[in-house]
């Protein structure tokens, strides 16, 4: 009915968080400019904001394609109130129930998969750094 | 069927991305994220449907299956269109920029 709205909302939050972190990192980089490069910059480590982009892309991409599915089924329409289920209280209750079950589960699964990817990539990066150090 | 179609698209795109990595001139990664995101979300949808319907979930009516396949293919095409628009806007190879520059010079 409107389950895609939950991951879409998470995508929006992720995008805003990413912009905030990116700005902070840029400011920190400017401060560091001219000074000695940090140990962090010398490693092959991807900054966290780069990994946050993975989550953003998964959530926006998935939500966009799911929204199309809802348009296909006539659950999303191009005129007010945009969600057909929102036009009467009974359907609206069902829609909110679906959002709180299926929608939340979708957002949680995507986030868990992303967290798994972050853990695995961090391990790979650590191993690569360790190999670099031992080669020196 | 929609889940199956998007999962197949996600796997194919990931293989293409891996084959060309670390070069990412065609921005195939965008397609991978999009299709994997949709696949994960439809997987959740499928699990909820399975809980509700049980084994019946695996024996859909032919008409429903055809409609779902049609939807799945449409989703894949929509994903390709979104990717193409992003590719042309970002223009990583500078083809459009170059063409516009040439036009201006002439």
Q: Using CA coordinates, name the residue in chain B closest to A113.
A: B40
Domain membership flag for residue A38: no
Give the nearest partner residue to A57 out of B30, B41, B45, using CB atoms: B30
Domain membership flag for residue A39: no
Which residues of chain A neighbour B6 with C-beta distances below 8 Å? 65
How many separate domains does chain A show? 1
Quote the mean pLDDT of chain B: 92
Chain B interface with A: residues with Cβ < 8 Å: 2, 6, 29-30, 33-45, 47-48, 71, 74-75, 78-79, 82
Instruction: Please say if the pLDDT value at position A2 is more than 60.
Output: yes
Counting every residue, how long is chain A? 136
DSSP-assigned letter for residue B95: H
Domain membership flag for residue A127: yes
Domain membership flag for residue A90: yes
C-alpha to C-alpha distance for A5 and A64, rounded to whole angstroms: 10
CA distance A92 to chain B (A): 19
- Tens of pLDDT along B17-43? 999 988 888 999 999 999 999 999 999
Tell me what pLDDT residue B4 has: 94
Quote the mean pLDDT of chain A: 87
- Tens of pLDDT along A94-128? 999 999 999 999 999 999 999 999 999 999 988 88
Domain membership flag for residue A68: yes
* A117 Cβ neighbours under 8 A, 6+ residues apart: A51, A54
Instruction: Please say if the pLDDT value at position A15 is more than 80.
Output: yes
- Tens of pLDDT along A70-94? 999 999 988 888 888 888 888 899 9
List residues bridging with A76 in a β-sheet. Answer: A83
Tell me what pLDDT residue B8 has: 96
Across the interface, do B34 and A64 touch by the CB < 8 Å criterion?
Answer: yes
Do residues B32 and B7 touch, judged by C-beta distance below 8 A? no
Domain membership of residue A108 as a residue range: 5-33+44-135
Hey, of B17, B34, B41, which one would you mutate to test binding to chain A, going by the most A CBs within 10 A of its CB? B41
């Amino acid at each position: 009915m409107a389950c895609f709205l939950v991951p879409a909302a998470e995508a929006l939050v992720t995008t805003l968080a990413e912009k905030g972190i990116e700005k902070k990192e840029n400011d920190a980089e400017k401060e560091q400019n001219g000074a000695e490069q940090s140990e962090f910059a010398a490693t092959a480590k991807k900054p966290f904001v780069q990994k946050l982009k993975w989550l953003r892309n998964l959530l926006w991409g998935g939500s966009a394609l799911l929204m199309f599915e809802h348009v296909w089924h006539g659950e999303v329409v191009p005129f007010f109130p945009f969600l057909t289920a929102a036009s009467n209280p009974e359907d609206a209750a069902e829609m909110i129930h679906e959002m709180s079950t299926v929608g939340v589960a979708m957002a949680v699964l995507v986030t868990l998969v992303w967290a798994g990817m972050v853990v695995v990539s961090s391990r790979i990066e650590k191993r690569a750094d360790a190999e670099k150090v031992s080669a020196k | 069927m929609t889940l199956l179609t998007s999962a197949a698209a996600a796997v194919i795109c990931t293989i293409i991305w891996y084959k060309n990595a670390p070069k990412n001139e065609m921005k195939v990664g965008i397609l991978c994220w999009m299709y994997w995101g949709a696949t994960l979300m439809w997987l959740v949808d499928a699990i909820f449907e399975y809980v509700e319907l049980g084994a019946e979930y695996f024996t859909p009516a032919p008409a429903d299956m055809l409609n779902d396949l049609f939807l799945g293919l449409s989703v894949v095409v929509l994903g390709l269109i979104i990717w193409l628009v992003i590719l042309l806007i970002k223009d990583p190879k500078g083809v459009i920029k170059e063409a516009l520059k040439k036009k201006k010079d002439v």
